[in-house]
Amino acid sequence: MSKKFEVIAVTGLPEFGSGDNLGEAILSRLQEMGFTLEDGDIIVVSQKVVSKVEGRMVRLSDVKPSERAITLSKITGKDPRFVELVLRESSQIEVAVKGHLIVTTKSGITCANAGIDVSNVEGSGETVLLLPVNADISAKKIREYIAAKSGKRIGVLISDTHGRTLREGQINVAIGISGLKPFKDYRGTADMKGYVLRVKMINVADELASAAELVMGQATERTPVAVIRGLDELIGEHEGSGELNMPQERWLFKPVGITGDGV
């Protein structure tokens, strides 16, 4: 039989709030859908619902912007209180230009606005949603809960939507991993003709996140969870997504830095 896999949207999940048990909600919804988890299933969860259950909502009215945030707010055109939150989540500013603020977060992810989101949040515009403090731990918690209750060997991936340097449009990538191998490693592997491959390591974690996005959507059709079935070979003891971030000293494209009025 030919190799294949399926990506199934987990629809009809409730609105989540701080303290909710995501693993329980996913399992319960899968049961209602008549869907039984199997060994090898990979559950992809949108960052946003993870942040919500982890209580990462912040009211902008509670945030007092620093001088630095005010300066960067003028350059980028973003709300100074929002910029202040981005700074608190960041270890380094990579790009601050009109319309863009790209940073490396304290978790080591380089992305726009430290991944802080204003959409699909109660009271949006005034309430924003920070990334999970550590999405790898979030993934592990969900995996351990679902694995214990279902008795199945599964993987969990937390996804977020990122822009890229050279490509238009955003794609989903992995920001948290538990029980999954993030790479298919071909280093030193010979091809069908016995030659070493040009391709060294495939980032299957990001590919899984992108595959799941195709059923998850972004707007009102938004579904925050998907199950990927048929890629059992990617399940493994591996924990953590840190290796997916390229160390800065190896970047071959350098951030433009802070440029604009008032620098």
Which CB atom, from 112 or from 144, has the smaller least distance to a second copy?
112
Residue-by-residue DSSP string for 140-165: HHHHHHHHHHH----EEEEEEEE--S
- Residue 263 as a binder of a second copy (CB under 8 A): the answer is no
Find the binder of a second copy among 70, 87, 97, 258 (CB under 8 A): 97
Q: Which two tokens stand for residue 139?
A: 């993934």
Which CB atom, from 148 or from 251, has the smaller least distance to a second copy?
251
Subset of residues 15 to 44 that bind a second copy, contact rule: CB under 8 A: 33, 35
Least distance from a second copy to the Cβ atom of residue 226, Å: 9
Q: Which two tokens stand for residue 120?
A: 């699909």
Q: Which two tokens stand for residue 128?
A: 């924003």
Which CB atom, from 137 or from 244, has the smaller least distance to a second copy?
244
**3-class secondary structure, 31:** helix
- Residue 249 as a binder of a second copy (CB under 8 A): the answer is no
Subset of residues 128 to 167 that bind a second copy, contact rule: CB under 8 A: 161, 164-167
Q: Is the dihedral of CA 79, 81, 84, 85 positive or negative?
A: negative
Torsion of CA 107, 110, 114, 115, to 10 degrees: -100
Least distance from a second copy to the Cβ atom of residue 215, Å: 5
Place of tokens 């230009």: 97
Which CB atom, from 141 or from 206, has the smaller least distance to a second copy?
206
Bridge partner list, 112 = 102
Least distance from a second copy to the Cβ atom of residue 222, Å: 7
- Round to whole Å and give the CA distance between 245 and 175: 9
Q: Count the neighbouring beta carbons within 10 Å of the beta carbon of residue 159.
A: 30
Subset of residues 204 to 233 that bind a second copy, contact rule: CB under 8 A: 204, 206-208, 210-211, 213-215, 217-220, 222-223, 231
Encoded amino acid at 21, one letter? N
Residues 114-133: x/- map of binding to a second copy (CB under 8 A)?
---xxxxxxxxx--------
Least distance from a second copy to the Cβ atom of residue 92, Å: 12
Backbone angles phi, psi at 136, to 5 degrees: -70, -40
- Residue 4 as a binder of a second copy (CB under 8 A): the answer is yes
Subset of residues 53 to 92 that bind a second copy, contact rule: CB under 8 A: none
